[in-house]
Every structure is written in structure tokens, then in C-alpha cells.
Structure 1
Amino acid sequence: MTSVIDPHHLQPSSSWWERQGDLIMRRPFNEWTFTHMNWLLPTERVARGPVHRPLPGRSRPLDVTYDFGGAELSLADLHRRTFTTAFVVLHRGELVHESYPGAFAGPRARFQLFSLSKSLTSMLVGIALADGAIGALTDRVIDYRPDFTGTAYESTTLADLLAMSSGVGDIEQWDVPGTDIKRFEEACLGRGSVEDVLRSARRTGAPGERFNYSTLDAQLIGWVLEAATGKTLARYAADRLWSRIGADRDAYYWLSRSRPRTAIGGGSFNATARDVARLGLLMAHDGVLDGEQIVPRDWVARSGVRDVAHLAIGALGSSGYDHYGYANQWWTLDGGAYTGLGVHGQYLFVDPAADVVIVKCSAWPTEDDPERDRETVAALRAITARLSGRSASLVA
């Protein structure tokens, strides 16, 4: 574990300390911070394995346009309008296109993935179930973390957490002081306790009945994983997943400055864009790589489930966009595609039927942006349609 900034040498009363979260997240700083989180916060390494598997294929220009807002736009327009920093496209397991428009980006840069980390955490839960470390999705949080007895999470099951349907916490509003997510961010950066934030969250509904997007729920999933496996999230990710995918580089989680230091399973994973694409390949190919079942097949299928009424596309309510549904820590789309999402424009888009995987890292000016999200989805779906329809003539 490494730390570049020692919080004991900072002045808690300084304006920088009060505003550090905003400074890290805002343009123009975020193009640098999103590729250098290990310079800003403590980290724990997620080690790659001894075998490197280069992605087959090679990058070529991708002649695709997409319609948005009444205009026909190019990928160059997409990157300019949505502040793309990295863009990787795989088709049928091969690299067909990559570009790095970000000022500090490149094939070896490791990108802050924010809530896309949740989708990785879900993959680890599926592996832990197959390993027998986790008994069942009907297990309660307190079966693994009895210290949450007496909190709003006492009756919550792992299935509730995975569906963002715990009934705990408020709507995530990053720009409103005092909300759960703002308190969570402040605790991660050293002002308060991350565990206290989760323990103090209020029950706002019955478990399993409504969708309410919650990084707190995802954080608790990570803690359940650690308790069940007896390993840190980084160590379990390395042992059971990252070391097996032929990754280009070690990845890392940044850790909370507050103690006990903890990985943020809902938002602190950092990796190269190519390596994130390798995770997408697993999902597109039923969890199999080179004949080895790494993520259980039934768990991969569960990530595309669309038969829960309050998680259906268009039914998520105020904490989700109307073109998405939700399943197993992934956002679902019409036609069988789904995507991992992170604030400021991080995407791991998977269309299993078309065998297309697209990674887009970005540095949006704000955490959420419905219009930029809609435009990005329109572009990703246009790429998928062209690749699946006329793949041989696509690349010059």
C-alpha cells in the first residue's frame, strides 16, 4: 500500500481540505486526477498474473456515425462533446479500435472507474458463491457482518444489495451537503468514518420493493465479500479474477484515508482501458476465457435479467435514467446489451449477441449528465449495429 499525501500534514481547516473532493472531480483537474489517483490516496495493488494474453487484432479507424439531437455525428464529435479520455472497441474477441483523446491517457494509463467498480464487485460475488465462500443470495448482511445488527441494514439480504433495493438511504445527490453520498465521499477523504456513514443510514422503504441507486449498498457488498473470504477486496480480486485474465498491468483500489482504511467496492477500482475490456470479454463470452470458466455462467446470465418489475427498463424512477433497467450491479438496455457505469462518463458496454465490448473513459465536468449519457449510448449502439451488420467492411 502506498500513500503520497499524508493527511496528518494537511490542515483540516484549510479551504483545500474542505473542497478537495470537488477539486479532484472537476475540470480541468480531473483529466489528470482520474489517471493519477494513486498519487492522491492510499492504494492496494490488484496483482496481474504470470501469464499475459495480448488482445488479438489491431486498431484501425472506425468509420461510424450516430444520430443525436437531429444531427449526424462522428466518433470525433463524441469524444469532443463527451470529454472522452480512452476508447477501446472489441468485436468477436479482437481489438478493432482504440484511441486515447485524454491529455494524460494512453494504453498503460490506469483510469479511475468510479461506479463501474460495482460491476466488478458483482463478478467477484458470483465467483465467491461458486467457491462456497458465500452461501446464498438470501443470506443477510448480518450473517457476515454482525456489527450491522441494529442498523437499517439488519434485515437486508445480499440479493437486495445487488439489486439496489435495500430500502436504505436517500437519493444520491453529489452536490447537496449532508446527503449520504456526500458524507460518504467526505469520510473516504478523511473527514469521519466510512463505517459510521453506513451505520447511520436511515431506512426509507421495505427491502426488495423499489430501486434506489446506492453506493452505500455496493460498499456493503464489498465488506460482505471481505468477511466471507477472509481477504481484502484487492487480494480476492487478484487471486480469483485479475490474475486469470491475462491483464496488461496490475490494477489497484484506492483506500479511504480514514481508518480502518478500506477499499471502496462501489467506486475505487483503477485499471487500463484494455484490461477493463478484458472483463467485458468475460461477460460477453459466458464467463469463459481460453476454455476456463472464470466467472460462473449462470452468474453472467443473471446480469442480464429483466423480469423484475421495479428493475425493468424505464421503471427505475428518480435515481435511474428511463432508458436503463438494472440487474446485478449492471445497467440493462433494450436488445440484451448492458453496461457498467461510473460517474463522469465511465462505461463498460457489453452486447453478448453482437459479441461487442466497448470501454469509454471520460472526464465529464459533472458527476451525472443525462444528455451526455444518452449521446454516449446512441454512439455505442451505432458502433454495435455497424460491427454486427458489416464487420468486414468497417475498418479501413
Structure 2
Amino acid sequence: MTSTTQQPAVQAGDPPSWWDRRSDLVMRRPFNEFTFTHMNWLMPTERVARGPAVRPLIAAPEPLDLTYRFDDRDLSLADLHRRTFTTAFVVLHRGAIVHECYPGMFAGPHTRMQLFSLSKSVTSVLIGIALAEGAIGSVKDQVTDYRRDFAGTAYDGTTLADLLDMTSGVGDLETWDGTDSAIRRFERAVLSGGDVAAIIRSVPRTGPIGERFNYSTFDAQVLGWVLEAATGRSLAAYASERLWSRIGAERDAYYGLTRSHPRTAIGAGAFNATARDLARVGRLMADDGVAGGHRLLSAEWVRRSRGTDLPHLAVGALGASGYDHYGYANQWWTLGESCFHAFTGLGVHGQYLFVDPAADVVIVKCSAWACEDDEARDRETITALRRIADHFA
């Protein structure tokens, strides 16, 4: 039966409707503990299939009764999970699971977690594989070598290296405040069927290429599109064939897609995977790009992800786009020599893939923070993860 009731037109100045605010509502506590583990119920997806052979992670559990020092207090890992809303936590040492817990209400070893911008680090891994295989020629290639539709936009003249280091000079400070920032318009287009590519093509240049860091979801999204153009494969298909099937993943992963057609993967922020399988990605990086005895990434690509000598990407030099305990390189957040060249992937609401090659430690922490960014919780988390790595080092 079709209703003929007319909905009143939305007038300028009207408060946003529930539908307009749905992305805010599903991201807030306590709802987000459910939504972050069921994103395939909320948006279109494409499967990242695992391979026929699962490579088991050896279980070698040991109690981690250590404490970390934060805010002039000695705190335990139980305190960390309570204070930072941990949903999944996996620690590998020398490739074995030494600690694993799932404090989240809907989380478990087989639960696929929404990783948000940690997806950018996965995209970096895929770019590295494409370079190793020759599908992409060089990080000095320009965006327009692969995507001619970006000719004449602010991305004309930028290289893949510029995108990888987020030094394209395109766009303003990325902020989730308000409703009309570029990233909010991008989010609405993803969820409501708008033209995502048109939004990114319209973003203006705000600085010279290669001279300053400006955190940019758009840079990472363009990288995903470049990868698809270079390989002739969707992001999910390429990830399945070249990464997921080769690291011995236990479970299929998936990418969230736009509602508009043709659908496109949100490579900058909608990869979903189990904590254990994400730890396998970290293990690949800790092992200099080798998985199961096969080299997937060049050792140079992994080193590029651990840090750079560019002064504007050094720890403490990122400016308003990054906290002062981070540097940046190759779609990863770096922590500097004081942490043995450890580095981490990050996603909003508290998603981490922490890799310390010197300690041979990989840590996955998924969370359900109430807001996108929280500097205090981030600083506490990094303090705790460093303490764990130091314990094993």
C-alpha cells in the first residue's frame, strides 16, 4: 500500500532530521559497539576473499600484568581497556599470539571490525605490492598518469609519493566539526548516493606540492583509485588476490562501498577485518614484507613506512594535522628513534595497528570511542602500547 502523505519540505534553518544525523548517531556510544562490528548491515560491501590455506597463528599466551605510567598514575591493561573503550586487543610477539582479549560487547576472534582510516595503511601495503609486481611504475608517477579525469584539478601535477605522505597541498585542515566541511560532504555523498569523485575533484589547492603535511582522506582515496586503474581490478579483488590470500587470513574481509553507482570502495576508510587478520598484516610489515616465506613487499617499501628524513614529516613537526608525538610516512604514523622506529596505522574512534620491528611485536587495538578524535585517549594508548613493546624488547 502506497502512502500519499506528503513530507514537509525542509526549510533553511530547520534542525537536521534523524536521517540527516544518522551517521552521527551510529558512531556514538553505546550504539557504535554494535555498528563498528556490523558495518555490512549498514552499507554496500565487496568481499575480500581469503585464500584456500589458512596460516594459523601459534598461541603462546602469557599474563601481561605489567603497568604503564600515565597522568602520574600506574595503570594496568584492564585500566587501558576500560578507559579507552577497547573492543578487541591482540598482541603478537615473534609471530605468536601472546595476549588476546575482546572486551567489546559484540567482538570476538571471528568478528570483523570497522577500521576507519587504518584502511589507509592497508592501501599503502597494496600500493607497495603493485610496485613490486610492476603494475605501478614508480612513486614518482603522477596521479594523471593513471586517472586522466583528475587533469585540471588540484591533483594535477601531484605524484603518488605526495599522496602517500599527504603532502599534496590539496584541501584544508580535515575537521569533523560542523556539517559543511569537505570531509562531511564526502561522508554524506558516500552514505546518500552522491558523486564522491566530483567532490574530491572540486577540492582546491591550498599550498605548494610536497612542502607541508596536511592529513587528507582525499589523498588516500585517490591512491585507491590509482591502484584500481593501474591493476584493472577492484580494490577488494586486488586485496584478495595479492594480500589476503597470501598472508593466510582466517576470514574474508570486506570494503564498504558508496551507495552511488558505479559503486566504489572507500579505500581511505572502510576496510573491515578481524583483529587476528589485521595482526597478520602487521606481521608482514614487521617481517620486512615477507609472508609465508614469500616476499610481497620490498624491504625498502617497509623502511619507507617506518619514517622519513623529510623535516616536515618528522615526529612533532606535523602541525595542526597531527598530534606532536607522531610523524608521518607512506600512510603510516611514525614514532621516531626513541621507539626503535615503531610505527602505527590509525583509525578514528581508536583503531590501531602498532608495529615495533626491533621488539618483534605487533599489537592490534580496536575501540569504540565516543568521538572521532581524542588526543588524551590516543596519547594514553600509545604510552601503553610502547610499554608492551618495551616489555618484550
Runs of 4+ in 1 over 4 A off after TM superposition: 10-14
Deviation at 1:59, TM superposition (A): 3.2
The DSSP-based 3-state class of the residue aligned with 2:255 is strand
In structure 2, how many angstroms separate the alpha carbons of the residues matched to 1:72 and 1:379? 11
Shift of 1:191: 5.0
* Preserved CA contact (<8 Å) 2:257 2:266: yes
In structure 2, the partner of 1:277 is 279
| Contact in 2 for aligned 1:48/1:243 (Cα 8 Å) | yes
Q: Is the 8 A contact 1:110 1:251 kept in 2?
A: yes
2:248 is matched with: 246
Counterpart position of 1:162: 164
1:85 and 2:87 aligned: yes
Q: Give the whole-Å Cα distance in 1 for the aligned partners of 2:44 and 2:236.
A: 13
1:213-228 correspondence to structure 2 within 5 Å: 213-228=215-230
Give the aligned CA root-mean-square deviation in angstroms.
Answer: 1.4
| Aligned residue runs from structure 1 range 202-217, under 5 A | 202-217=204-219
Offset of 1:11 from its aligned partner?
A: 11
* 1:103 corresponds to 2:105: yes
From 51, 72, 75, the counterpart of 1:70: 72
Structure 1 position 25, deviation (Å)? 1.1
Post-superposition offset of 1:178: 1.3
**How far apart are residue 71 of structure 1 and its match?**
0.4
Aligned match of 2:116:
114
Which secondary structure state, in structure 2, belongs to the residue aligned with residue 189 of structure 1? helix
**Are 2:359 and 1:357 equivalent residues in the alignment?**
no
Distance in 2, Cα, partners of 1:92 & 1:374: 26
Identity of aligned residues (%): 69
Shift of 1:279: 0.3
Is 1:36 the counterpart of 2:41 in the alignment? no
1:376 matched to 2:348? The reply is no
Q: Distance in 2 between matches of 1:341 and 1:88?
A: 15
Partner Cα distance (1:212, 1:41) in 2: 28
How many residue pairs get aligned? The number is: 379
Q: Partners in 1 of 2:292 and 2:238 — Cα distance?
A: 21
Of 316, 323, 326 in structure 1, the residue corresponding to residue 328 of structure 2 is 326
Equivalent residues in 2 for 1:297-336, closer than 5 Å:
297-334=299-336, 335=339, 336=341
Choose the corresponding residue for 1:48, options 50, 61, 75: 50
Tell me the distance in 1 between the aligned counterparts of 2:354 and 2:172: 27
Whole-angstrom distance in 1 between the partners of 2:253 and 2:193: 26
Cα drift, residue 63 of structure 1: 1.1
Compute the TM-score of the two structures, normalised by the length of structure 2: 0.94
TM-score (norm 1): 0.94
Mapping 1:9-20, distance limit 5 Å: 15-20=17-22
Letter in 2 for 1:348: L
* 1:287 matched residue in structure 2: 289
Say which is worse superposed, 168-177 or 142-151, in terms of deviation: 168-177
d(CA) in 1 for partners of 2:35 and 2:177? 19
Q: 2: distance between equivalents of 1:357 and 1:64?
A: 17
CA distance in 2, matches of 1:212, 1:102: 33
Tell me the SS of whatever aligns to 1:85: strand
- 1:12 to 1:52, Cα distance in 2 relative to 1, 3 A: farther
Are 1:11 and 1:17, in contact at CA under 8 Å, matched by a contact in 2? no
